[in-house]
């Protein structure tokens, strides 16, 4: 059975009140999205350069517009609920993907990756993220179908992650990463100089690894950690695997250009991580309520669904997520402005 058909059947089971999207629509969407990603990857490697602010802004705007058009197509072929679930899931994953950028900035700075080659390095990181998220989505769908109590675990994990997000600094990863890199350097010969984006280069007649190897490993492990956060988060919005897949793809599209558009500003958005923490905590609570509605755990209400548990619909979720990001971003920008005035 093909993946799109499998997703259609799983989605039908997950959203019994909604007619599933047509199989041809899902297949076409996957083909077009993969084609766009392939073109983006080709352009990144064909023209390594530092994108201008205008170029980056145009690309980011294009991908945002593309996501909104896709939501319109889902409304046309599906329902309002399909479209709103996609937009809410996309907004959630986009917020968490922006958090990725904080760590990407740290990694690029720490390993002094030449800015000219950062586009290609970022694209590799995004491809790794897509693959990892795809694997977690398939695993998550299978687990949810057979073990509804997993929502309790998802909820607890997101609340725990929200607390860490709010009170830990991204720079706290430095000690762990440096320890791992020291371990790697003791066992693998790695030069201190870059040779484009090549992982191996020739020095004094010997093949040695370049720092790109360490950068790719750092990006991969970072993507793995963020996949562990983002997949439970979007399953709190929708259990339709097709929407989960496409929301993740659209969230990662344009992330490379967003990195260059925000530039040094992203490290100055001091309160953004609080907005992201609030979103994770909100979805964690929503997952708990959903788990209570579907309850099968014998020691909770005798294994019967808890009818009094609030039901937070998708429209409310979308409003909360957008408001949290808007407040955190505006507060950060205000602080930047106040700090700039104080320095004068």
pLDDT digits (tens, 9 = 90+) for 127-181: 888 888 888 888 888 888 778 788 888 889 889 888 888 887 655 554 545 566 6
Q: What is the mean pLDDT of the chain?
A: 81
- Percent of the chain at pLDDT exceeding 90: 17
Whether 294 shows a pLDDT value over 50: the answer reads yes
Answer whether residue 13 is part of any domain. yes
Whether 330 shows a pLDDT value over 60: the answer reads yes
Q: What was the pLDDT predicted at 9?
A: 46
Q: How many CB atoms lie within 10 A of CB 46?
A: 8
Answer whether residue 72 is part of any domain. yes
**Sign of the torsion formed by the C-alpha atoms of 215, 219, 221 and 225:** positive
Q: What was the pLDDT predicted at 232?
A: 87
Answer whether residue 297 is part of any domain. no
Answer whether residue 205 is part of any domain. yes
Q: What was the pLDDT predicted at 255?
A: 82
Tell me the C-alpha distance between 125 and 216, whole Å: 7
Q: How confident is the model at residue 282 (pLDDT cuts 50, 70, 90)?
A: very high
> Which domain does 103 fall in, by range?
3-264
Answer whether residue 210 is part of any domain. yes
Q: What was the pLDDT predicted at 196?
A: 76
Q: What was the pLDDT predicted at 343?
A: 75
Q: What was the pLDDT predicted at 4?
A: 45
Q: What was the pLDDT predicted at 170?
A: 58
* Rounded alpha-carbon distances, angstroms, from residue 124 to 41, 170, 185, 214, 216: 8, 21, 22, 13, 8
Answer whether residue 83 is part of any domain. yes
Answer whether residue 259 is part of any domain. yes
**Mean pLDDT throughout 101-129?**
81
Strand, coil or helix: 206: strand
* Rounded alpha-carbon distances, angstroms, from residue 4 to 20, 24, 31, 62, 234: 12, 9, 11, 26, 19
- Percent of the chain at pLDDT exceeding 70: 88
β-bridge mates for residue 203, sequence order: 206
Q: Which range, of 60-64, 137-141, 255-259, 263-267, averages the lowest pLDDT?
A: 263-267
Answer whether residue 196 is part of any domain. yes
Tell me the C-alpha distance between 123 and 113, whole Å: 14
The count of domains in the chain is: 1
């Amino acid at each position: 059975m093909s993946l799109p058909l499998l997703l259609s059947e799983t989605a039908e089971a997950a959203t019994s009140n909604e007619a599933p999207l047509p199989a041809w629509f899902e297949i076409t969407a996957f083909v077009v999205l993969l084609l766009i990603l392939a073109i983006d990857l080709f352009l990144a490697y064909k023209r390594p350069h530092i994108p201008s602010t205008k170029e980056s802004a145009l690309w980011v705007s294009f991908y945002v517009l593309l996501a909104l058009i896709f939501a319109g197509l889902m409304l046309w072929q599906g329902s309002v609920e399909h479209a709103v679930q996609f937009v809410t899931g996309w907004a959630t994953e986009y917020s968490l993907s922006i958090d990725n950028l904080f760590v990407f900035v740290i990694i690029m700075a720490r390993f002094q990756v030449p800015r000219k080659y950062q586009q290609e390095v970022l694209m590799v990181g995004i491809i790794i993220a897509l693959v990892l998220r795809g694997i977690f989505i398939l695993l998550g769908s299978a687990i949810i179908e057979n073990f509804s109590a997993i929502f309790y675990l998802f909820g607890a994990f997101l609340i725990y992650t929200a607390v860490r997000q709010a009170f830990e600094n991204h720079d706290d990863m430095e000690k762990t990463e440096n320890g791992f890199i020291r371990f790697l350097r003791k066992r693998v010969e790695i030069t201190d100089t870059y040779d484009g984006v090549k992982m191996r280069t020739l020095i004094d007649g010997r093949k040695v690894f370049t720092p790109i190897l360490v950068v790719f490993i750092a990006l991969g492990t970072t993507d793995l950690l963020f996949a562990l956060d983002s997949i439970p988060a979007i399953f709190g919005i929708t259990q339709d695997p097709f929407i989960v897949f496409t929301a993740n793809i659209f969230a990662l599209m344009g992330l490379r250009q967003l990195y260059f558009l925000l530039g040094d500003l992203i490290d100055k958005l001091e309160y953004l991580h609080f907005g992201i923490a609030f979103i994770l905590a909100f979805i964690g609570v929503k997952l708990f309520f959903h788990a209570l509605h579907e309850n099968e755990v014998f020691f909770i209400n005798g294994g019967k669904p808890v009818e009094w548990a609030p039901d937070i619909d998708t429209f409310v979720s979308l409003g909360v997520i957008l408001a949290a990001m808007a407040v955190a971003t505006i507060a950060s920008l205000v602080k930047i402005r106040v700090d700039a005035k104080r320095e004068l």
